[in-house]
Amino acid sequence: MTKQNVLQTLAAARAAELTSKERAIALYVEALAADYANLEAHNALERMRAHESFGRWMLMNCTIDERDDIFKFFAAHPSSLNPFRDYLSDGWRTLSELLLLLEAVDKPLLKMNAVLEFAAGFGRFTRHLVGAIPGKVTCSDVLPGSVEFLQREFGVKAFASSHHPQDLQLKPEYDLIFVLSLFTHLPAHMWAPWLQALAAGLAPGGLLVFSTHNEEDAVVRHGVRFDKSDMHFIATSESPSIDGEVYGTIFTTRGYVERAVESALGQPPVLIHERRFWEGQDAVVVRK
Ligand SMILES: C[S@@+](CC[C@H](N)C(=O)[O-])C[C@H]1O[C@@H](n2cnc3c(N)ncnc32)[C@H](O)[C@@H]1O
């Protein structure tokens, strides 16, 4: 089917929604078979709770926003045969990785009352987190539209973030502030102000969990050569929408991470679990 045919099939599906749900579903399935990463068809099947929808068996909201760069990453990846399945199961993976990490520091997720998922994007992980601790999740990101999407689709509390950490005035209310793959992008001079702004939101005994690129992985997989600074910043990222100088890619040694936490927060991390998240990101845990 050509791109034009896919567009025609989608238009026919939209029209069929008014008269025959079965016909509409069949047309969306046809469009998806011809264009395997078609978000309009996917989201329509989710909305209609079609037999083919992911939400029926994953028991959660599987709607994906058109602006979601992480979904686009899967959709463009040469190894991805089904980007929807890859994207949705990737969030499950994060949930299991986080659950194990929190068990290791004796602070189980299910016992928490208030959790902030900072830098939540368009909810790759949020949808899984709300299933585990409904009513207890707050989210934040800078991407236009993300806050509204997260609130509407997953029923979380959410607020818009800023590129200036001083704008973030968190109350000390969270048992966990989880920040997956933001410090992997922030330039070095922004680490201390962000660590301080986020740690201010922790309730007594609360945990700040963030991720960094694993040192060995940086050298072996990415060919990074660390100099005396123990970090290596490149002003590009996966995001076409955020300035690379503000949100680039940063590789760091473990020593750099330990010193950065100690100097910003006056105490070292209680745990660094190497390669805990995704393929090569270390989990850094700081306890208030
Ligand atoms: C690599 S993505 C990870 C998204 C999400 N944590 C996940 O696991 O799917 C990094 C996210 O950081 C967000 N971000 C960048 N600068 C930010 C800031 N100053 N405040 C909050 N979020 C920010 C980006 O918009 C993006 O959604």
Ligand 1 pocket check: which of 141, 239, 243 to mutate, most ligand atoms within 8 Å of Cβ? 141
Ligand 1 pocket check: which of 67, 142, 163 to mutate, most ligand atoms within 8 Å of Cβ? 142
Whole-model pTM: value is 0.96
pLDDT digits (tens, 9 = 90+) for 276-287: 999 899 999 999
Selected residue with higher pLDDT from 53 and 2 = 53
Is the per-residue pLDDT at 152 higher than 90? Answer: yes
Q: Of the candidates 214, 164, 210, which has an alpha carbon nearest to the alpha carbon of residue 189? A: 164
For residue 56 the two structure tokens come to 């029926």
CA gap 44, 67 in Å, rounded: 16
Mean pLDDT within 209-228 = 96
Q: What are phi and psi of 160, to 5 degrees?
A: -75, 135
Nearest residue (by CA) to ligand 1, atom 5, is: 120
One-letter identity of residue 275: R
What is the model's pLDDT at position 238?
77
The atom of ligand 1 lying closest to the CA of 123 is 9
In 3-state terms, what secondary structure has residue 231? strand
The CB-side HSE value for 224 (13 A sphere, CA atoms) comes to: 23
Q: Cα of 268 to ligand 1 centre, how many Å?
A: 24
CA gap 207, 288 in Å, rounded: 6
pLDDT digits (tens, 9 = 90+) for 91-123: 999 999 999 999 999 999 999 999 999 999 999
What is the model's pLDDT at position 166?
97
Q: Report percent pLDDT > 70 for the chain.
A: 100
Q: Cα of 184 to ligand 1 centre, how many Å?
A: 10
The atom of ligand 1 lying closest to the CA of 168 is 20
Mean pLDDT, the chain, whole residue set: 96
Q: Cα of 168 to ligand 1 centre, how many Å?
A: 15
The helix (H) or strand (E) run that includes residue 199 is: helix 191-199
Measure the CA angle with vertex 282, ends 279 and 284; round to 5°: 150
Q: Cα of 211 to ligand 1 centre, how many Å?
A: 12
Spell out a b/e string for 253-266, using b for 16 or more CB atoms within 10 Å of the CB, else e. Answer: bbebbeebbeebbe
What is the model's pLDDT at position 279?
83
Ligand 1: which residues within 6 Å by Cβ? Answer: 70, 118-121, 124-125, 140-143, 161, 163, 180-182, 242, 247
CA gap 53, 90 in Å, rounded: 17
Q: Cα of 220 to ligand 1 centre, how many Å?
A: 25
Contact 240, 143 (CB under 8 A): no
Q: Cα of 185 to ligand 1 centre, how many Å?
A: 9
Mean pLDDT within 10-33 = 97
